Amino acid sequence: MSNHQTAAILVIGNEVLSGRTREANAYLAAQKLFDRGCKLGEIAVVPDVQDAIVVTLNRLRDQFDAVITSGGIGPTHDDITMDSIAKAFGVELIEHKYILQVMTERFGKEGMNDGRRRMTRVPAGAHLIRCEKTIAPGAKIENVYVLAGVPYIFESQLDSILPEFGDGERPFIRHEVDVALPESTFAKELELIQDRFQEVEIGSYPRMCGNKPCGKICLSSKNETALKQAIKSVEAMLENIGH
């Protein structure tokens, strides 16, 4: 099986949509996927609502090689991700024997209350995603990876699945060039450079340094030779305009 070359992230969480929590998991995954050379094509944040999760998941898993979800796999009523994933795939949600076993070993039979029991359920046919930080696993079903929302658990689970993404030996490389000019003065020249280097993604990110326009031109590519040439062209172009 070849590695996933494109991916999407589906964040499930009212806490992000209500502005309570600043999203952190998609940001972490975006960096790690970039470093693996896997193209992240979309991030979607949806509420803890089954229809929204089902529709968005089915759209994303059809459109990208893989989807990573974050959130909603705990023991409380607002944790509806596993139910929703099962519904999206049209499979049953089943109590997983292995999860039941390890959780029972940890908490004892009397400790297996309804909440913990809820966490033993995964969509039928799913593979478990285990990590160091918790005994309650995530789940993989076809091209969908269902991870926790709590950031330290998300990160640990993500690390365990990353080898299936991109190609670590050919990652994206990024380089940034500082700019002390208004964007409009180099926009046309930069477009010509972008046209010449199709393998390099070039973006311009302006800001203000005191009351003067400044910013960065950001270049990234898997092709190191093309990247170096594009960087040289940008630097020469800026020097030319600046003087």
Give how far Cα 116 sits from Cα of 72, 99, 134, Å. Answer: 14, 10, 13
Which are the contacts of 7, defined by CB distance < 8 A and separation ≥ 6? 33, 38, 39, 40, 41, 64, 65, 66, 67, 68, 165
221-240 positions binding a copy of itself, by CB under 8 A: none
Range in contact with a copy of itself (rule: CB under 8 A) among 42-50, 122-130, 160-168, 225-233: 42-50
Report the residue number, 41 or 168, with the smaller CB distance to a copy of itself.
Answer: 41
User: Degrees (nearest 5) of the Cα angle 122, 29, 40?
Assistant: 100
Residue 126 touching a copy of itself (CB under 8 A) = no
Which positions from 133 to 172 touch a copy of itself by CB under 8 A, shown as an x/- string?
-----------------x-x-------------------x
Q: Which region, judged by CB under 8 A, interacts with a copy of itself, from 82-90, 124-132, 158-166, 186-194?
A: 186-194
Q: How far apart are CA 39 and CA 66, in angstroms?
A: 10
Which residue shows structure tokens 């969480």? 13
Choose between 76 and 232: whose C-beta lies nearer to a copy of itself: 76
Report d(CA 115, CA 174) in Å as an integer.
Answer: 44
* Helix 25-36, helix 151-161: angle, nearest 10: 20
According to the binding rule CB under 8 A, does residue 173 interact with a copy of itself? Answer: no
Pattern 59-78, binding to a copy of itself, x per CB under 8 A? ---------------xxxxx
Residue 204 binds a copy of itself, judged by CB under 8 A: yes
Q: How far is the CB of 205 from a copy of itself (least distance, A)?
A: 6
Quick one: tokens of 232? 């040289």
For a copy of itself, the closer of residues 141 and 146 by Cβ is: 146
Q: Which of 109, 188, 212, 243 binds a copy of itself (CB under 8 A)?
A: 188
> Is residue 80 a contact residue for a copy of itself (CB under 8 A)?
no
Is residue 98 at the binding interface for a copy of itself, with CB under 8 A as the rule? no
Would you say 218 and 202 are in contact if contact means Cβ atoms under 8 Å apart?
Answer: yes
- Considering only 12, 16, 158, 227, the residue that binds a copy of itself (CB under 8 A) is 16
Residue 199 binding a copy of itself, by CB under 8 A: no
- Minimum CB separation of residue 207 from a copy of itself in Å reads 6
Q: Which residues bind a copy of itself (CB under 8 A)?
A: 14-23, 26-35, 40-48, 52, 56, 74-78, 113-116, 118-119, 150, 152, 172, 174, 183-188, 190-191, 194, 201-208, 218, 220
